[in-house]
Amino acid sequence: MSDNNPKKYALSTRAVRAGQRRSHECEHSEPIYTTSSFVFDSAEQAAARFSGESPGNVYSRFTNPTVNTFERRLAEMEEGDLCVATASGMAAILSTCLALLRTGEHIVSSQGVFGSTAVLFNNYLARYGIDTSYASLTDLGAWEQQIKPETKMLFLETPSNPLAEVADIAALADLAHSHDCLLVVDNTVCTAALQQPLLHGADLVVVSTTKYIDGQGRCVGGAVVANEALAGEALGFLRTAGPCMSPFNAWVFLKGLETLKIRMQAHSASALQIAQWLEKQNAVEQVYYAGLESHPQHELAKRQQKGFGGLLAFDLKGGRDAAWRFINATQLISITANLGDAKSTITHPATTTHGRLTQDERDSVGIGDGLVRIAVGLEDVEDLMEDIQRGFSALQ
């Protein structure tokens, strides 16, 4: 797909083809440009590149061809004008906030966002006079109540991790815009393959590419996608402050994008089958997965998403003791807090990802002691269910 081709291809085609600019070597697969700087034909050309008068590469903190190919491809998949790749998902969130917010301004965030995001908001941005209030992801009235004249950004993850609550992106975009605020959606759990927040009115998408975009647990990275003006601000910050993505990591993510849709469909199919089976187990109190008809936002998730993703959680009767016995009895699924890997992972949120919260804070966001989270990978679903059954057997 050449860059000036006016036809808009389907998402799977864009995932494989968009953004590539073949070099004079006529390579079929995209090359990795491991170079920190670029050479100019003349002093005049160097001056023109540095001043921005002539386009082209200068230095890999500013632009790198492999990183750029990844950025163009992800921008196309997210339906944004511009993508800025970053060193990690957290660097994407930090770059967005520091580029777009000033001292005295205020964020409203959904409760129960990823732990490091909450620490960034509460412990670091607060030091620079940017405060954050929290609202329940699914309660529009609660969001509105937290908005004050200084509020400039609403920030959310949907579906939430690990409880799979689903926010109404279009309704929150309307709310944000009616108060002159930006809506930022962390799209890590669904990715562009299952959900395109910009099409529902969000202003910016941030994503940890470490998860499903890599898909095999190899590299850490992130990205911001938006229109030219907003992503341009993030780009300005990135070029100066330097949390840029390495060319090697960009190449891994680029290859990840090519298989993202079929992987997300496979993660979703297995997770749904496991969630439906878990609902029938006596030892399980509640299953959290938006693909279940019993899920309170099932209809919204069906409208807003093209699949329900690979992340599910469930409450076991018997609290922490039951959860730990269950987790320790599994043999195939890896005990690790990462998600978005071909290898399934199992974790006890109350003592790992949410261990820094007090008991009261965990109770207020619904992270119980018996909660177990599984990020369903790409192994055979029968093998996974047999492994989960080992967990149930350990409870008897």
Ligand X SMILES: Cc1ncc(COP(=O)(O)O)c(C=O)c1O
Interface positions with ligand X (CB under 6 A): 88-90, 114, 116, 157, 161, 186, 188, 208, 210, 220, 222
* Rounded Cα distance, 211 and 260, in Å: 11
- Smallest distance, ligand X to C-beta of residue 145, A: 24
Nearer to ligand X, 74 or 283 (CB): 74
Spatial CA neighbour of 254 closest among 23, 66, 59: 66
- Smallest distance, ligand X to C-beta of residue 165, A: 13
Nearer to ligand X, 136 or 210 (CB): 210
- Smallest distance, ligand X to C-beta of residue 208, A: 3
For 329-365, the DSSP string reads: H-SSSEE-S--S-SS-EEE-GGGTTTTTS-HHHHHHH
Nearer to ligand X, 157 or 369 (CB): 157
Nearer to ligand X, 80 or 349 (CB): 349
Residue type, 232: G
- Smallest distance, ligand X to C-beta of residue 177, A: 24
Nearer to ligand X, 130 or 220 (CB): 220
Element (H, E) at 376: none
* Rounded Cα distance, 330 and 391, in Å: 6
Nearer to ligand X, 19 or 222 (CB): 222
Alpha-carbon distance values, 50 to 56, 59, 203 (Å):
9, 10, 30
**3-state DSSP assignment of residue 63:** coil
Nearer to ligand X, 336 or 389 (CB): 336
Residue 195: which residues within 8 A CB-CB, separation 6 or more?
Answer: 158, 187, 304, 305, 306
- Smallest distance, ligand X to C-beta of residue 157, A: 5
Tokens standing for 280?
Answer: 């029938």
* Rounded Cα distance, 249 and 75, in Å: 17
- Smallest distance, ligand X to C-beta of residue 119, A: 11
Nearer to ligand X, 103 or 123 (CB): 123
- Smallest distance, ligand X to C-beta of residue 219, A: 9
Nearer to ligand X, 151 or 208 (CB): 208
DSSP β-ladder status, 371-375 and 345-347: antiparallel
DSSP β-ladder status, 131-135 and 151-157: unpaired
- Smallest distance, ligand X to C-beta of residue 270, A: 20
- Smallest distance, ligand X to C-beta of residue 210, A: 4
- Smallest distance, ligand X to C-beta of residue 353, A: 8
Alpha-carbon distance values, 111 to 34, 161, 169, 180 (Å):
40, 11, 15, 21
* Rounded Cα distance, 77 and 86, in Å: 17
| Contact in structure between 22 and 31 (CB atoms under 8 Å) | no
Task: Cite the beta strand spans of 67-214 per DSSP E.
Answer: 82-86, 106-110, 131-135, 151-157, 182-186, 204-208
Select the residue whose beta carbon is closest to ligand X and give its number.
89
Nearer to ligand X, 116 or 259 (CB): 116
Helix/strand/coil percentages in the chain, nearest 5: 40, 15, 40
